Structure 1
Amino acid sequence: MPQASDNKLVMLVDDTPDNLKMLSDALDEAGYMVVVATDGASAVERLDFVLPDIVLMDAVMPVMDGFEACRRIKAHPAASHVPVVFMTGLTEPEHVVRGFQAGGIDYVTKPIDTDVVLARLDAHLRNARMMSVAMNAMDAVANAVVVLDAQGQVTWKTSKARLWLSEYFGHPEDTAGLAPALATWIAQQLERPQAQEAAVFTIAAPEGGARSGRASGTEARETEAGAAGRRELRLRLTASRKAGEYVLLMDERALPADAADTLAAAYQLTTREREVLLWLAKGKTNRDIGEILGMAPRTVNKHLEHVYVKLGVETRAAATALVLTHMHKGAA
């Protein structure tokens, strides 16, 4: 993991030795620590070892230009929040826009005025530190929040959000983006006209590797199929007060036990036996159950034999009646 610094660490990225010396001297005199890279690829590689407070990036360089390097910094799991300020002689509007689209927060024009550079860095570092305090506060109160830009790309997420995304979607905690199913759903919501109510996505906790997700908004859509779990994660997508920004809020709740869960506990059914019994009670044939659960009809029949013995019944009808009886007791 890269090491963060408390001494205003600036990553200076430029392929021109004279610029590097001039800016390094000015930054050093102003009390900054400086780490240097001479091209975009080297800058990105250094992020695995050191985490700067801000990046001062030349736009035009060999090997990898500043625009591409900035995009990779914003995709880096540890450095996506680090502000990037471009240094460029490309003052045409399309180049300025390109820098902001890559994730840059500001730009200074060449020839470089070190006083202007220092003033810009100081202002952006103050803002970055305020954001860092806010993010730490969110983590401290254990909120699960993801902030997205207008395109649905993650700008930052709290530690609990990373944990739940990993647990429910199998998405590595150190990955910058979102799981494909969730990213697709968010993209669909952003393409729709603004809804009166926040769009909601729910997903059951994995049980034996299975997950189930469902979305609701003005339209409900099934996103994944699977068995329900004991807990459920609810994700609510809302527009932020800041234009072009969205917030994904998460909360977790326990799911009530269903009739099959009650039977499984009472009669010591295995997970597979519980699943087979549940589908049997819904009127499915052995072949149907096999297709749903991915097993041969003969295997389904073997599970049913064990279920009948444990329940003390002899027929499908008797097993179904027992499930229905538990359902009525649970609803009473």
Structure 2
Amino acid sequence: MTMTKVLANPNSIVMIIDDTPDNLALLSDTLSESGYRVLVATDGCSALEQIEYLRPDIILLDVMMPGINGFETCNRLKANPKTTHIPVLFMTALSELDDLLRGFGEGAVDYMVKPIRPPEVLARVEAQLIQARNIQRAENALNNGPYCALAINANGKITWLPEAATHWLNDFVLAHLLLDDIKVETLLPASMISWVKAQMGKPDTNDFMPFESIKGEFHFSAKLIPCCHADEYLLLMEKHSGHWNIDSVKHSLGLTSREAEILMWISRGKTNKEIGMILGGSPRTVNKHLEHIFEKLGVVTRAAAVSIAMQRTSNLSLLSEGNAS
């Protein structure tokens, strides 16, 4: 049985940066004939100017060029948040190990040794485009989902910071007026680092406590999850509006104060275990309260219970606004 090969989008934009006309012609023809859109530049400065107006999906970059060389061009690309995600493949006649290692050190994902072979170019370009798109899909899912995420090492230093996580950290810093923590690109705020280190000191990851902070109208929460690497962790983070009136929910739905509180945490995506940790009880106790909530509301799922609570609080808000006017 033959398997269908999944190809990268043939409409992807490939930029070639090379000062040799023959190389430009060969690469441009090879890529164009395969369906790629091609941009060309003969030096690093003109390439950086072009990229300001039209960003390629991948860059083929010659090392030895007039003006700024390929290493410096790559360095500038990776230093710019708008272009740091673009995969760069070096093209070089240099065969010294130090030169190849320097290319990877500047942020390149791959390299090709001249003379260029068209089939190899197509294979490497396609492989890197597929990889880049998979990363972009994952980041888009995080940026548009209920959680945002970042990665940290054992010292609390940030090793991976998607856009949504940057917004969460900035909101946290501003809400808590942490003037000393304004720059969050490299380190977590001090209060979160203390929490992270306290969790890392526990021998069992099942004992990790969630992070909770309510400031003004916002509720910030986070949970720590070990990564595949022993010295790295993922932080899954949420931010909710604090507009949840426990008394209103309690009276309108006929719940006890503890039941209303548990329902609030359920609406914020917490598990029974996490709620137990927050409220100082066991998951079994939380589950027992949950059974009473289901019975009182006439539902059988957490989602249905939350839906009724949100609808009821929304109606109460509308009534209160109507009475005020």
TM-score, normalised to structure 1's length? Answer: 0.54
Alignment of 1:144-163 (within 5 A): 144-147=148-151, 157-158=162-163, 160-163=164-167
Give structure 2 stretches of 5+ with no counterpart. Answer: 1-8, 175-180, 244-325
What code does the residue aligned with 1:122 have?
E
Structure 1 residues 115 and 50, CA, compared in 2 at 3 Å: closer, same or farther?
same
Share of identical aligned residues, percent? 38
> What SS does the aligned partner of 2:94 have?
coil
Shift of 1:76: 2.2
CA RMSD of aligned residues (A): 3.9
Aligned residues: 220
Structure 2 residue aligned with 1:23? 27
Structure 1 residues 112 and 231, CA, compared in 2 at 3 Å: closer, same or farther?
same
Distance 2:234 2:139 in 1: 13
Structure 2 residue aligned with 1:80? 84
User: Aligned to 1:40, which of 32, 41, 44?
Assistant: 44
Partners of 1:39 and 1:62 within 8 A in 2 = yes
Distance 1:167 1:132 in 2: 24
What code does the residue aligned with 2:162 have?
K
Structure 1 residues 135 and 183, CA, compared in 2 at 3 Å: closer, same or farther?
closer
Partners of 2:15 and 2:56 within 8 A in 1 = yes
Structure 2 residue aligned with 1:250? 237
Structure 2 residue aligned with 1:52? 56
User: Aligned to 2:186, which of 183, 186, 192?
Assistant: 183
Partners of 2:159 and 2:186 within 8 A in 1 = no
Shift of 1:141: 1.7
Structure 1 residues 184 and 140, CA, compared in 2 at 3 Å: closer, same or farther?
closer
Q: Determine whether 1:8 maps to 2:12.
A: yes
Distance 2:228 2:172 in 1: 28
Partners of 2:158 and 2:185 within 8 A in 1 = no
Q: Determine whether 1:110 maps to 2:110.
A: no
Greater share of residues in helix = 2
Distance 2:68 2:153 in 1: 25
Q: Determine whether 1:136 maps to 2:123.
A: no
Shift of 1:72: 2.2
1:235-287 deviation digits (Å, cap 9, x = unpaired): 6676532588654432336779xxxxxxxxxxxxxxxxxxxxxxxxxxxxxxx
Shift of 1:140: 3.0
Structure 1 residue aligned with 2:292? none
User: Aligned to 1:90, which of 78, 89, 94?
Assistant: 94
Q: Determine whether 1:231 maps to 2:218.
A: yes
> What SS does the aligned partner of 1:24 have?
helix
Give structure 1 stretches of 5+ with no counterpart. Answer: 171-177, 206-227, 257-332
Partners of 2:169 and 2:184 within 8 A in 1 = no
Structure 1 residue aligned with 2:228? 241
